[in-house]
Structure 1
Amino acid sequence: MEFRAMNEQEIRDWYDREFIRTFPPNEQKPLPFILDLIAGGRYTLLGLYDGSSLLGYASLQTSPDRPGYILLDYLGVTAARRNGGLGSRILSLLEERFGKNTCLIIEAESPVPGRDEAENALRVRRIGFYERCGCRRAYEIGACGIRCQALTLGDPGNPDALTEAHQAIYGPGRPDITIPLGLDETPAPAHWGKDT
């Protein structure tokens, strides 16, 4: 297996064949948005490959003025390979790649009281997955119309530095991002205008 940066054609294939089928519409960054972030040096897509077959992926967003902090924007394993330990393997590979001095910031949807029990159970399971992989809960955020639990893998530094870095990664032009999100606050709809 090889864990490496995807080229532009691989990114386009990933987007069309995997991404839009895996993530809900309100969570899908438009491909031009992703490509602009890549062109600006703020976004990387890494694929775990077996030969030419994509097994899983991690997309990472950074801020040039906050070195040492990386947002794990999307983590996924292709449908045929799910539940086989590849998600935790990708997290381990990220930790190896960036070292212990880098804090990986992860966002996982929080369960919502009164919502669909099956969906809430899945959200609890996802957060549990990250915790089993060594991640620690930090605070809740609002992103793309969703309340999410922010978690960290690696040393987050002090809480203010973490919050500031998390905000800097998104930048000032994202009205749909609230870091942290208070208990009485409602997340704003997705920036790219898709229904939530």
Structure 2
Amino acid sequence: MTELRPLLPEGLETWYRQELCTAFPPCEQKPLSAIRELMDQGRYELLGLYDGPLLQGYATLWSCPEYPGYVLLDYLGVTAARRNGGLGGTLLALLRERFRDGSVLIVEAEAPDSGGPAEERPLRERRLSFYRRNGCTPVYLSFNCGLLCQVFVLGEAPVDLDTLQKAHRAIYGPARTDVVIDPPPDASPELPYWMEE
């Protein structure tokens, strides 16, 4: 039986090297030190999808005290051996159950014309379809990690999009100048600080 539970702190470095760094491009690989710092502040949670002791997938949740009730799904992934078996949908269903109290789960995924490699456009479109199929509602666009992203919420979109956008931006904090919520059409995304030379 699969269950979603916190990843033990001693497994953080292994998860980072074996999962995050192999499944996400460098521009999206937040430094492990930044993740540890956010965890120490109580703003970041790493959940594992387990079948007994076996990690099958993961979801990381990022929040800020100024906007309780708003949470960013920072990373969602399924281990390489278990991909394409429906576990991503299982993860989102378990997250929907976890946030049934009315909290808003913010989800980001690369837009089709994100600025990423052209040959990866079909993968981006599949990812966007995955989120729509699993109950996510598109709400606006953002820049993040040097890419144009489609922003979703899990479930119905809240009526107050202004507060949603403010909460989304506040979660990242002022140091993340690469994050722009609802960017103007003529703007270009910046790379995150860990990609700067």
State the match for 1:47 in structure 2: 48
Work out whether 1:99 is the aligned partner of 2:100.
yes
Find 1:164's aligned residue among 134, 143, 166.
Answer: 166
Counterpart-to-counterpart distance in 1, 2:61 and 2:116: 30
Q: Map Cα deviations across residues 90-144 of structure 1 (whole Å, 9 max, x no partner).
A: 0110111121501110000011289755311111111110001111111110001
- Give the number of equivalent residue pairs: 195
Identity of aligned residues (%): 50
Counterpart-to-counterpart distance in 2, 1:66 and 1:33: 20
- Which stretches of structure 1, 4 residues or longer, exceed 6 Å deviation after superposition? none
TM-score relative to the length of structure 2 = 0.93
Counterpart-to-counterpart distance in 1, 2:97 and 2:162: 26
SS of structure 1 residue aligned to 2:20: helix
Q: Identify which range, 135-144 or 116-125, moves more after superposition.
A: 116-125
Q: In the alignment, residue 93 of structure 1 is paired with which amino acid?
A: L
CA root-mean-square deviation: 1.7
Any unmatched runs of 5+ in structure 1? none
TM-score relative to the length of structure 1 = 0.94
State the match for 1:72 in structure 2: 73
Check whether the contact 1:139–1:149 (CA below 8 A) recurs between aligned residues.
yes
Q: CA deviation at 1:156?
A: 2.7
Find 1:184's aligned residue among 159, 177, 186.
Answer: 186
Q: In the alignment, residue 13 of structure 1 is paired with which amino acid?
A: T
Q: In the alignment, residue 94 of structure 1 is paired with which amino acid?
A: L
Any unmatched runs of 5+ in structure 2? none
